[in-house]
């Protein structure tokens, strides 16, 4: 740090709104950032591995584990009977998710037993030696098939309704119906699930878990052990990616590791192989959207009746709130006069689907955008015109289907600026001209907007805590309830703290998230990490500052308003003291230099039964223009150019926010293009490794990729330094890629037929859509009804 | 012939002598568990995600070069006389960040950080070997590295920024120790046969190709491992027992490449990376396909010989090699036989290879003038994906413009890489025009009854195979018939 010259610096290094590297960047690039599997193991550490069912739905008539027990290096084999507490890790409280299955298995790959052995390899080899006997039961993996088979719902559905849907539809000048299928998505965090449990005295246990939700892991471990939460400490320094996949899915591994550790009184680590991780853990929900929309000749939507059915898997997990959020985002940026939206959280014999960046919002929004696209092609117009015609705005056109008023709407300005900066209109005209003379390669372009609601819809989750210590030398210890999974949360919260104390960022040490320091935390999810934990940390700092100010005023006999925190110094009257010196003095005068901060989001409420309320504190906005090329012989394509303008409010760290936007875009593009989950007729997931499940590569990223923050944006609500959440909203920007692919396909029929491209638009789906339109053109040509060129 | 019972190699700045290790011990497990070098991560254990990427340096005719490899599917037994470099050894001699590491930090190239050590290793390899990489070169170097957080944009920027620094003794440890490393590796290469016994079986490193022939004839039950890009997964995914193992990746005698006017001959141990220059010189049409086989790490490890010997119906090299009329030479003991490559593939899972017999080389005759030849790969994701189907067309016309001969081969359409004999017969003698191509598309349905799986449906496989005939025809007419990679990509 600088020498203590009072005027040497006018600004701190790394305060709020400054671009700063991720706090662990140096450690990432040198391989010295420790993930749980990198931690030194206590002597005698054992390793667990899970034994899985190989039926999609069956009664286990017998399970012979003798060969497993007898295998080399095996110390113990655990089944449901070894769970000392409750054999349940259901995060919904519906008691529908066992730690280890017993009696009936409900999906192919459900964990049934655990082997604990001297090494991971020995445990894994031993797990293969189990002999199962089953009585097969009928199974269903597909959403539509589940509906047809009258499979149950895993949780209560939601209905959002406003206006008179029957009259609205009946009175609309035009009407269309359709179905869209939307695929799921594996998180493919690079670090798979892992839990490392170290037994303590009495009923105590410490679990290192790669989790976004340490408090829930703590509660689940206690529940499964049959003890209370104060016996369990859960810690995580960082995850190698989460994306929602570690919100509830860590519970199982943590619970089993803890059970084994307590039973054997040895440290136990469980880390599944990538294939097993993908088979055992839930994913983004697949959806089937059925819609019936009434609109007019100008493309304005009058009425929308839609249902959103989801592949939830065998248990409820988070499917209730996920399918709720799908409905909350089916409107995206558009006002529906009369509307009815219903969710159908379908049970299926597949892994229980879970949180994934956007949490159902992307699927809801994609359904809404498909409807816009259908209207545009039905009217022969640019979908962008239809979008603009339906934007929220003006009196009577600002109420959502859940009866929240949209007060902070900036989408028109975002879209207008992007349309200009990307030269959208000229490029679209150029593409249409290109397509007229290009027999094989066709191009497409699309501009799609995003409006995403920020807050947990489980209102009580919107709270956070932080623990801040200032030590005698002026160094600061920061702990908060959020977890670091790469998003730079720790960096941003530390910047907030640096700004509060007016000290350089490197004064602050970020420490591992632990339930022992900040209790009752919410999942780091719903994009809320910085909003909530930044506020809690600021609150802690303010408490300490208040004490310091009172102390200084008394000590130096000056009014409190003459005590000020200035860059790396504290001004006391006319004297400027180095921060460290001031703190030392405060310590000697017995000022408490530690505080627990707290924050809860104000002004939000939600009544699920009536479907009314203000579930979201504010909305984040953005828009993207994507341009693609499609090979109409094979369905292959590439993304040629993407322009993004996104609203992160008054950004706390522009570099980190742009990183979130670029990353979310490519991840969302993967969801809509090459990432395909494929179950076979036995109910086996066959895309369970990177060899078969294809996330985007460097060479898939848009060849020109212009990402800008709306630098004029500012949160109208008093969020942390007027910033906005940025984790999830940009995930939906690549809906523009899917629609651009659709336009290239639609060129086959002169843009007169909706391409109805389902997701993911693999080369195969693109080619089949091309074929569908080619056949329609040929048919029209043969019957002489249309002169669309072939 | 000298004998040893241990292998010797360099790990970062240490010499390692190892004996008693299992033949299926992976480099990644050894680094992380035995050596506690935990910077190298396990992401998938199948050579697809690149989190485990390390550099392996080898001497080739006295020249030391470093290649990125997947530690997760690389066996320790294959490392004799090499230099293994992990992320812990990539910073500068004075301990500060390397050019690549600093550029990654400056450009925000890491988020969760789990893929980062592997990406740093891949980019370090590129930085050492290519002073002015085009964006397409960077993308190619990163084909085997998945990142789920960043969207890659900052990583590409970091690679471009790093290239502004030239590797020197002062800024790079590997360059600084170049002379000492060459000396050490030269000293390790004593031409001995290595036999390592362990509880889990025996590892053999034959002294030379003749020794391999002798060893394999004596141990026909052994697993021959060249690049381990396939056998590695037998271990990490299927936990198959593979002992005894005969490693052949080190054998100079299997790394011979000959290129002349008659064609190209590749020893069975030539990696995809090593083969590229000669093959693309003789057959420029192979360039695009070649760069889409696996990722860079897999191309650095995997061999054309292995791609043939494993008999996969979806290997990328057999279709073009069959269309090009390649032959394969097999050897057992001192006996050799040569057969057309297409005859080697008998049916799914069965090749014409006797116990103790191994693939020694592949020969590809040069293209005659006026041959139309093209090969196309269709996959769900463009790069680092396994073919849904792979097509190769080889057509010659007579003076009247009639088809004089047609050799068409597909992968992914049958249980083996297979020629389209009905289509070929239909084409022969016909005029090379649109109507003929339409008829050939119909004929293709007689040749293949493809399967549906997670890579593609039977319908898509057939339809796109038929459409590739159109692409081929259009391209022989000089008409544009596929997406051009973006101009920014055309620099390479």
CATH number where B419 lies: 3.30.390.50
Residues B399 and B339 in one domain: no
Q: Closest by alpha carbon to A13, among A296, A21, A159, A372?
A: A21
Residues B350 and B450 in one domain: no
Res B255: pLDDT:
97
ipTM of this predicted structure = 0.97
Cross-chain Cβ contact A694/B151 below 8 Å: no
Q: Given CB atoms, is B150 within the 8 Å cutoff of chain A?
A: yes
**Do the domain assignments include residue B421?**
yes
**Do the domain assignments include residue A7?**
no
pLDDT at A654 over 50: yes
CATH number where A532 lies: 3.30.365.10
Residues A199 and A152 in one domain: yes
Res A280: pLDDT:
98
Residues B354 and B392 in one domain: no
pLDDT tens for residues A126-161?
999 999 999 999 999 999 999 999 999 999 999 999
Q: Given CB atoms, is B202 within the 8 Å cutoff of chain A?
A: no
Res A6: pLDDT:
46
**Do the domain assignments include residue A789?**
no
Domain interval for residue A476:
25-33+463-600
CA distances to A213, A492, A536 from A531, in Å: 16, 10, 9
CA dist., res. A386 & res. A370, Å (int): 12
Q: Closest by alpha carbon to B69, among B60, B78, B81?
A: B78
- Residues forming a β-bridge with B11: B14, B84
**Do the domain assignments include residue B229?**
no
**Do the domain assignments include residue B102?**
yes
pLDDT tens for residues B274-323?
999 999 999 999 999 999 999 999 999 999 999 999 999 999 999 999 99
Res A787: pLDDT:
42
Mean pLDDT of A580-597: 98
Residues B337 and B357 in one domain: yes
Cross-chain Cβ contact A663/B111 below 8 Å: yes
**Do the domain assignments include residue B153?**
yes
Minimal Cα–Cα distance from A636 to chain B, Å? 8
Residues A386 and A307 in one domain: yes
Q: What are phi and psi of A133, to 5 degrees?
A: -120, 135
Res B95: pLDDT:
86
Residues A544 and A637 in one domain: no
Q: Closest by alpha carbon to A490, among A4, A2, A27, A10?
A: A27
Residues B71 and B175 in one domain: yes
Take residue A164 and report the two structure tokens written for it. 């008179």
CATH number where B293 lies: 3.30.465.10
Res B93: pLDDT:
86
**Do the domain assignments include residue A14?**
no
Closest-approach residue (CA) in chain B for A241? B112
Residues A590 and A681 in one domain: no
pLDDT tens for residues A347-397?
999 999 999 999 999 999 999 999 999 999 999 999 999 999 999 997 899
Task: Provide the annotated active-site residues of A.
Answer: 728
Please report which confidence band the pLDDT of residue B490 belongs to, taking 50, 70 and 90 as the band edges.
Answer: very low
**What's the mean pLDDT when you consider all of chain A?**
96
Query: What percentage of chain A has pLDDT greater than the value 90?
Result: 97
Domain interval for residue B104:
6-190
Residues A124 and A50 in one domain: yes
CA dist., res. A494 & res. A514, Å (int): 17
pLDDT at A8 over 80: no
pLDDT tens for residues B20-63?
999 999 999 999 999 999 999 999 999 999 999 999 999 988 89
Residues B407 and B328 in one domain: no
Instruction: Find chain A residues with C-beta within 8 A of B457's C-beta.
Output: 764
Cross-chain Cβ contact A636/B48 below 8 Å: no
- Between A and B, how many CB-CB pairs are < 8 A? 268
- Which of A541, A571, A600 is the last residue in one of the domains? A600
Residues B358 and B417 in one domain: no
CA-CA-CA-CA dihedral for A549, A553, A559, A562, to nearest 10: -60
Residues A197 and A142 in one domain: yes
Contact between B418 and B409 under an 8 Å Cβ cutoff? The reply is: yes
- Which of A369, A397, A425 is the last residue in one of the domains? A397
Contact between A741 and A642 under an 8 Å Cβ cutoff? The reply is: no
Cross-chain Cβ contact B45/A273 below 8 Å: yes
**Do the domain assignments include residue B20?**
yes
**Do the domain assignments include residue A2?**
no
CA dist., res. A77 & res. B7, Å (int): 38
Query: What percentage of chain A has pLDDT greater than the value 70?
Result: 98
**Do the domain assignments include residue A232?**
yes
Residues B143 and B47 in one domain: yes
- Which of B190, B225, B240 is the last residue in one of the domains? B190
Minimal Cα–Cα distance from A670 to chain B, Å? 10
User: Does residue A760 have a cis bond before it (omega within 30 degrees)?
Assistant: yes
CA dist., res. B114 & res. A243, Å (int): 14
Cross-chain Cβ contact B115/A638 below 8 Å: no
Q: What are phi and psi of A406, to 5 degrees?
A: -85, 105
Please report which confidence band the pLDDT of residue B85 belongs to, taking 50, 70 and 90 as the band edges.
Answer: very high
Minimal Cα–Cα distance from B143 to chain A, Å? 6
Res A394: pLDDT:
78
Res B480: pLDDT:
87
Res A716: pLDDT:
96
CA dist., res. A604 & res. A617, Å (int): 6
Residues B294 and B443 in one domain: no
- Which of B166, B190, B214 is the last residue in one of the domains? B190
**Do the domain assignments include residue A38?**
no
Contact between B273 and B299 under an 8 Å Cβ cutoff? The reply is: yes
SS3 A153: strand
**What's the mean pLDDT when you consider all of chain B?**
96
Cross-chain Cβ contact A30/B87 below 8 Å: yes
Domain count along chain B? 3
- Which of A600, A632, A649 is the last residue in one of the domains? A600
Cross-chain Cβ contact B481/A440 below 8 Å: yes
CA dist., res. A730 & res. A708, Å (int): 12
**Do the domain assignments include residue A12?**
no
Instruction: Find chain B residues with C-beta within 8 A of A441's C-beta.
Output: 480, 482-483
Res A9: pLDDT:
63
Q: Given CB atoms, is B390 within the 8 Å cutoff of chain A?
A: no
Mean pLDDT of B366-373: 94
Residues A393 and A432 in one domain: no
Contact between A183 and A287 under an 8 Å Cβ cutoff? The reply is: no
pLDDT at A741 over 50: yes
**Do the domain assignments include residue A756?**
yes
CATH number where B59 lies: 3.10.20.30
Domain count along chain A? 3
Residues B394 and B360 in one domain: no
pLDDT tens for residues B407-427?
999 999 999 999 999 999 999
pLDDT tens for residues A592-644?
999 999 999 999 999 999 999 999 999 999 999 999 999 999 999 999 999 99
Mean pLDDT of B217-226: 97
Q: Given CB atoms, is B3 within the 8 Å cutoff of chain A?
A: no
Res A782: pLDDT:
66
Instruction: Find chain B residues with C-beta within 8 A of A635's C-beta.
Output: 460, 464
pLDDT at A732 over 60: yes
Closest-approach residue (CA) in chain B for A357? B149
CA dist., res. B450 & res. B461, Å (int): 7
Pairing of strands A301-313, A338-347: parallel
pLDDT tens for residues A309-326?
999 999 999 999 999 999
pLDDT tens for residues A170-183?
999 999 999 999 99
Residues B264 and B392 in one domain: no
Residues A231 and A137 in one domain: yes
pLDDT tens for residues B119-150?
999 999 999 999 899 999 999 999 999 999 99
- Residues forming a β-bridge with A46: A268
Q: Closest by alpha carbon to B100, among B59, B33, B145?
A: B145
pLDDT at A784 over 60: no
Res A395: pLDDT:
83
User: Does residue B215 have a cis bond before it (omega within 30 degrees)?
Assistant: no
Residues B390 and B355 in one domain: no
CA dist., res. B139 & res. B141, Å (int): 5
Q: Given CB atoms, is B304 within the 8 Å cutoff of chain A?
A: no
Please report which confidence band the pLDDT of residue B487 belongs to, taking 50, 70 and 90 as the band edges.
Answer: low
Residues A437 and A298 in one domain: no
Tell me the Cα Rg of chain B.
23
Residues A410 and A487 in one domain: no
Instruction: Find chain A residues with C-beta within 8 A of B46's C-beta.
Output: 274, 689-691
**Do the domain assignments include residue B210?**
no
Instruction: Find chain B residues with C-beta within 8 A of A642's C-beta.
Output: none
Residues A577 and A636 in one domain: no
Residues A133 and A233 in one domain: yes
């Amino acid at each position: 740090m600088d020498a203590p010259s009072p005027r040497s610096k006018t600004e701190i290094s790394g305060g709020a709104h400054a671009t700063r590297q991720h706090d662990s960047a140096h450690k990432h690039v040198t391989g010295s950032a420790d993930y749980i599997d990198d931690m030194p193991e206590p002597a005698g550490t054992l390793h667990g591995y899970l034994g899985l069912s190989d039926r999609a739905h069956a009664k286990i008539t017998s399970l012979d584990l003798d060969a497993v027990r007898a295998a080399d290096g095996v110390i113990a084999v655990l089944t449901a009977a070894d769970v000392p507490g409750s054999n349940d890790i259901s995060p919904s409280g519906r008691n529908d998710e066992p730690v280890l299955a017993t009696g009936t298995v409900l999906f192919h790959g459900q964990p049934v037993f655990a082997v604990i052995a001297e090494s991971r390899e020995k445990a894994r080899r031993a797990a293969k030696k189990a002999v199962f006997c089953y009585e097969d039961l009928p199974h269903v993996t597909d959403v539509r098939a589940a509906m047809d088979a009258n499979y149950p719902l895993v949780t209560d559905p939601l209905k959002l309704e406003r206006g008179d849907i029957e009259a609205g539809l009946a009175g609309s000048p035009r009407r269309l119906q359709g179905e869209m299928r939307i695929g799921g998505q594996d998180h493919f965090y690079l670090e798979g699930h892992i839990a490392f449990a170290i037994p303590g005295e009495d009923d105590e246990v410490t679990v290192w878990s790669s989790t976004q939700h340490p408090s829930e892991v703590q509660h689940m471990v206690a529940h499964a052990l049959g003890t209370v939460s104060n016996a369990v400490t859960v810690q995580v320094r960082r995850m190698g990616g989460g994306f929602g996949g570690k919100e509830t899915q860590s519970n199982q591994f943590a619970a089993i590791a803890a059970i084994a550790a307590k039973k054997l009184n040895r440290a136990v680590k469980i880390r599944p192989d990538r294939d097993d991780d993908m088979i055992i853990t839930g994913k983004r929900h697949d959806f089937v959207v059925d819609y019936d929309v009434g609109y007019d000749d100008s493309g304005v939507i009058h009425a929308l009746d839609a249902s959103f059915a989801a592949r939830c898997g065998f248990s409820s997990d988070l499917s209730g709130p996920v399918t709720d959020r799908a409905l909350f985002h089916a409107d995206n940026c558009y006002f529906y006069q009369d509307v009815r939206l219903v969710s159908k959280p379908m049970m299926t014999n597949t892994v229980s689907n879970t949180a994934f960046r956007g949490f159902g919002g992307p699927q809801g929004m994609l359904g809404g955008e498909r409807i816009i696209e259908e209207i545009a092609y039905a009217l022969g117009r640019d979908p962008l015109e239809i979008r603009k015609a339906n934007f929220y705005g003006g009196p009577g056109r600002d109420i959502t289907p859940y009866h929240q008023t949209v007060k902070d709407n900036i989408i028109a300005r975002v879209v207008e600026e992007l349309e200009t900066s990307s030269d959208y209109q000229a490029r679209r005209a150029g593409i249409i001209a290109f397509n007229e003379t290009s027999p094989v390669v066709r191009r497409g372009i699309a501009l799609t907007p995003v409006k995403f609601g920020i807050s947990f819809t489980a209102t009580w989750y919107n709270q956070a805590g932080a623990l801040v210590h200032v030590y005698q030398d002026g160094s600061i210890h920061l702990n908060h309830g959020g977890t670091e999974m790469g998003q730079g949360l720790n960096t941003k919260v530390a910047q907030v703290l640096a700004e509060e104390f007016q000290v350089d960022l490197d004064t602050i040490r970020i420490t591992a998230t632990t339930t022992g320091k900040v209790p009752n935390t919410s999942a780091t999810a719903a994009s809320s990490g910085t909003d909530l934990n930044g506020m809690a940390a600021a609150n802690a700092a303010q408490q300490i500052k208040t004490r310091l100010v009172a102390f200084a005023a008394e000590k130096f006999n000056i009014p409190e308003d003459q005590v000020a925190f200035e860059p790396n110094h504290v001004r006391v009257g006319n004297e400027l003291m180095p921060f460290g010196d001031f703190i030392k003095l405060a310590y000697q005068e017995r000022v408490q230099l530690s505080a627990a901060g707290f924050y809860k989001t104000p002004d939000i409420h939600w009544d699920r039964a009536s479907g009314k309320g203000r579930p979201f504190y504010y909305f984040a906005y953005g828009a993207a223009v994507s341009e693609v090329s499609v090979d109409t012989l094979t369905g292959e394509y590439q993304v040629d150019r993407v322009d993004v303008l996104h609203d992160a409010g008054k950004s706390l760290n522009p570099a980190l926010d742009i990183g979130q936007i670029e990353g979310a875009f490519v991840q969302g593009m993967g969801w809509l293009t090459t990432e395909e989950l494929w179950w076979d007729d036995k109910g086996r997931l066959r895309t369970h490794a990177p060899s078969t499940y294809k996330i985007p590569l460097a060479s898939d990223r848009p060849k020109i990729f212009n990402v800008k923050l709306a630098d004029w944006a500012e949160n109208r609500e008093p969020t942390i330094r007027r910033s906005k959440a940025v984790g999830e909203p940009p995930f939906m920007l690549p809906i523009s890629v899917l629609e651009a692919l659709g336009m290239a396909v639609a060129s086959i029929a002169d843009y007169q037929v909706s391409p109805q491209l389902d997701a993911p638009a693999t080369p195969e789906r693109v080619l089949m859509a091309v074929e569908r339109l080619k056949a329609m053109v040929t048919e029209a040509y043969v019957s002489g009804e249309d002169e669309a060129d072939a | 012939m000298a004998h040893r019972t241990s292998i010797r190699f360099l790990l970062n700045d240490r010499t390692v002598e190892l004996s008693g290790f299992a033949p299926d011990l992976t480099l990644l497990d050894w680094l992380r568990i035995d050596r506690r070098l935990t910077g190298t991560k396990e992401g998938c254990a199948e050579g697809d995600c690149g989190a485990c990427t390390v550099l392996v340096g080898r001497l080739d005719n006295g020249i030391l070069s470093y290649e990125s490899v997947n530690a997760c599917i690389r066996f320790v037994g294959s490392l004799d006389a090499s230099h293994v470099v992990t992320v812990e050894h990539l910073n500068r001699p004075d301990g500060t960040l390397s050019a690549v590491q600093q550029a990654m930090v400056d450009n925000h190239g890491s988020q969760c950080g789990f893929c980062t050590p592997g990406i740093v290793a891949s980019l370090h390899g590129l930085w050492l070997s290519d002073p002015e990489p085009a964006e397409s070169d960077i993308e190619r170097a990163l084909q085997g590295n998945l990142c789920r957080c960043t969207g890659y944009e900052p990583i590409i920027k970091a690679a471009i920024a790093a290239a502004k620094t030239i590797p020197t003794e002062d800024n790079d440890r590997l360059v600084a120790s170049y002379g000492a490393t060459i000396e050490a590796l030269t000293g390790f290469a004593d031409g001995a046969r290595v036999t390592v016994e362990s509880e889990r079986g025996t590892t053999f490193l034959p002294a030379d190709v003749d020794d391999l022939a002798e060893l394999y004839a004596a141990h026909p039950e052994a697993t021959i491992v060249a690049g381990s890009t396939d056998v590695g997964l037998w271990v990490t995914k299927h936990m198959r027992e593979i002992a005894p193992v005969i490693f052949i990746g080190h054998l100079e005698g299997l790394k011979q490449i000959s290129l002349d006017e008659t064609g190209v001959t590749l020893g069975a141990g030539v990696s995809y990376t090593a083969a590229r220059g000669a093959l693309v010189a003789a057959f420029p049409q192979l360039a695009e396909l070649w760069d889409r086989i696996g990722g860079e790490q897999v191309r650095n490890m995997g061999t054309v010989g292995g791609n043939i010997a494993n008999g996969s119906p979806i290997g990328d090299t057999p279709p073009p090699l069959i269309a090009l009329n390649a032959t394969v030479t097999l050897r057992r003991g001192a006996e050799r036989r040569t057969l057309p490559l297409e005859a080697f593939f008998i049916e799914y899972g069965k090749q014409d290879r006797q116990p103790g017999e191994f693939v020694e080389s592949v020969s590809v005759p040069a293209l005659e003038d006026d041959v139309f030849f093209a090969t196309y790969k269709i996959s769900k994701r463009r790069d680092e994906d396994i073919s849904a189907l792979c097509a190769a067309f080889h057509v010659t016309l007579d003076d009247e413009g009639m088809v004089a001969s047609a050799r068409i081969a597909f992968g992914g359409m049958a249980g083996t890489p297979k020629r389209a004999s009905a289509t070929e017969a239909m084409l022969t003698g016909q005029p090379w025009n649109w109507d003929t191509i339409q008829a050939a598309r119909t004929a293709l349905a007689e040749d293949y009854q493809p399967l549906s799986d997670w890579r593609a449906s039977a319908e898509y496989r057939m339809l796109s195979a038929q459409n590739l005939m159109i692409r081929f025809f259009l391209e022989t007419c000089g008409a544009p018939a596929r997406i051009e990679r973006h101009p920014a990509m055309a620099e390479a």
